[in-house]
Structure 1
Amino acid sequence: MFKTIFYLVLSLLIVALLVTLAYFGYQWHQERKVLQQIVERLSADSRIAEVLVTKSRYNEASGKLETTIKFLEYDASGKPLEPRYFTFQGNIIQFQSLVIRFKDEFVNAGDSLRGKSIYLFLRAFVLDEKNAQVFNITEMNGIPKGYKIPNVKSDFERKLWEEFWTLALDPKAREREGIKNAQIEAPGSIFLPGTIYTLQIEHDGGIRIDTEPVPEILKDELQK
């Protein structure tokens, strides 16, 4: 009888130990998954535009390299907008952008609205010794192309975008909505033929420019 009770208690202790180990193992696994997701969100990015040099020639009149670029912006769903073409005297080109970063807790949690930085391209420009060559992409206080609802004239839509600019520029509004900071950035590069320049928005940061060679299959097309 005593031996039976002993083995029963021992069995229960072993089962309890296994359950405890399984629980802590599961908890450790879940915490590891959460940590991995947080790291992924903090290091994640999204493609927001691509730039390609379509023409590059020496302009004897200005004594400078004349550069024409194709600027292809992508909307929030990753669909390309209508491309734009800009021609500059020079090839060190920058893109002035408004970038709004949200507080880390929203990025960590993958918040559906505030889980990654948001942005608007404002201008493409080249600076030289005497002046600046500037092309507007989005007007201040306006509705950006690609975000305007087609064939609809709406005061409500206009007010929504006015509120966006308020959030960007008003410190009290930023604090209320969980915005870490809003600032103007101007990432740039030397733009040369034969390279695709990809602008990426980092979910917890700003805009960076990545480069890769143009695929061989497209090189002949660009030279036409």
Structure 2
Amino acid sequence: MAKTMETISTINSTLRTVLAVLVATVLGIASFFGYNIYHEKEIALQKVSALEEEISHKQAEIEQLGVRLKLLKVDQRIGQFHVVDQLVDPESGEKVSKVRFLEIDKQGKPIGLPREFEIKGDVAYIEYWVVKFDDKYVEEADPFRNTSIFLFRKIFGEDQKASEVPDIDTIGDRPAVYAQNPEVTEFENQLWKDFWKLANDPEAAKSKGVRTAHGEAPNIKMIEGKTYELELRSSGGVSLKPVEVEIKPES
């Protein structure tokens, strides 16, 4: 009997040990999977957070790029000339075109008084000086360098020299179109004063954020009665094209 009880006790002890081992194993497995699930969830949340941050960053870059592209494509109307009359000189047989030139602001409103010029021939050349700034200043909407700036020099025909005709803007003076913003007068005046130095001295140009400074002279064949307009982009490109206007420039 005693031996039987001892055997039963041994069996019970063994069972308890086995059960304890099983319970410990189950708890260990549960803890292992629970930790892994928690850890994986934490990792997943970190990945989601990192992904959201990256998406937000990319969205900001896209929006910034959109603003930059928009700024680089901004058009500013800067001048018009109306072909008042075209005739042939009876003595020389040369065609002469009478044009009325007018500077305008961004809204197309006149700046100052129109000026008249006689051009030999029917092809007009518009000579101007332009200062183009580094793209980063245009993209960042820098208050002093957010657009190229422009100085009219001459309007002349294909059958005459630029030196034969009067200036449109006086060298050294601020162009009328920019006089509406007195904040940058000193900066712009310095650019015009040092224009050819900036054009020929890369270090001087760099110190003022200037990408390039040079003269240009687009041209177009004129038709009597038509009005032609120049547009300047922030990045520096200029277009010359005919436009329809309700009221022709008056003298």
Q: Indicate the TM-score class for this superposition, using the shorter chain for normalisation.
A: 0.7 to 0.9
Report the equivalent of 2:196: 169
The alpha-carbon distance between structure 1 residues 167 and 178, as it changes in their structure 2 partners (threshold 3 A), is farther
- Give the one of 14, 18, 24 matched to 2:54: 24
Identity within the alignment, % = 24
Deviations 1:170-221 (A, max 9, x none): 2253232121221111122111135332211122224321333x36x66xx7
Unmatched runs of 5 consecutive residues or more in structure 2? 1-29
Secondary structure of 1:208's counterpart equals strand
Secondary structure of 1:25's counterpart equals helix
Matches within 5 A, 1:42-57: 42-57=72-87
Amino acid at match of 1:168: F
Q: How far apart in 2 are the matches of 1:6 and 1:26?
A: 30
Deviations 1:46-91 (A, max 9, x none): 1111222122233333323322222111257864212222222322
Per the normalisation by structure 1, the TM-score is 0.75
Report the equivalent of 2:5: none
- Higher share in strand: 1
* C-alpha contact (below 8 Å) 2:100/2:117 kept by paired residues: yes
* C-alpha contact (below 8 Å) 2:84/2:225 kept by paired residues: no
Is 1:70 paired with 2:100?
yes
CA RMSD of aligned residues (A): 3.3
Give the number of the structure whose alpha-carbon radius of gyration is greater. 2
Using the TM superposition, give the Cα deviation of residue 6 of structure 1 relative to its aligned residue in structure 2, in angstroms.
6.7
Q: How far apart in 2 are the matches of 1:190 and 1:14?
A: 68
* C-alpha contact (below 8 Å) 2:77/2:105 kept by paired residues: no
Q: How far apart in 1 are the matches of 2:233 and 2:146?
A: 11
The alpha-carbon distance between structure 1 residues 159 and 10, as it changes in their structure 2 partners (threshold 3 A), is closer
Report the equivalent of 1:204: 235
- Give the one of 70, 75, 90 matched to 1:40: 70
Deviations 1:102-158 (A, max 9, x none): 122222322221122111111211241788641311222234445569xxxxxxx89
Is 1:115 paired with 2:146?
yes
Amino acid at match of 1:140: I
The alpha-carbon distance between structure 1 residues 130 and 4, as it changes in their structure 2 partners (threshold 3 A), is closer
Amino acid at match of 2:50: T
The alpha-carbon distance between structure 1 residues 54 and 130, as it changes in their structure 2 partners (threshold 3 A), is closer
Q: For this pair of structures, how many residues does the alignment match?
A: 210
Per the normalisation by structure 2, the TM-score is 0.68
Q: How far apart in 2 are the matches of 1:158 and 1:30?
A: 35
Structure 1 residue runs of 4+, over 6 Å off?
A: 3-7, 129-132, 157-160
Q: How far apart in 1 are the matches of 2:96 and 2:102?
A: 20
Matches within 5 A, 1:1-16: 12-16=42-46
Q: How far apart in 2 are the matches of 1:15 and 1:181?
A: 51
* C-alpha contact (below 8 Å) 1:51/1:72 kept by paired residues: yes
* C-alpha contact (below 8 Å) 1:99/1:206 kept by paired residues: no
Using the TM superposition, give the Cα deviation of residue 44 of structure 1 relative to its aligned residue in structure 2, in angstroms.
2.9
Q: How far apart in 2 are the matches of 1:148 and 1:40?
A: 25
Report the equivalent of 2:130: 99
The alpha-carbon distance between structure 1 residues 80 and 37, as it changes in their structure 2 partners (threshold 3 A), is same
* C-alpha contact (below 8 Å) 1:92/1:191 kept by paired residues: yes
Secondary structure of 1:83's counterpart equals strand
* C-alpha contact (below 8 Å) 1:125/1:132 kept by paired residues: no
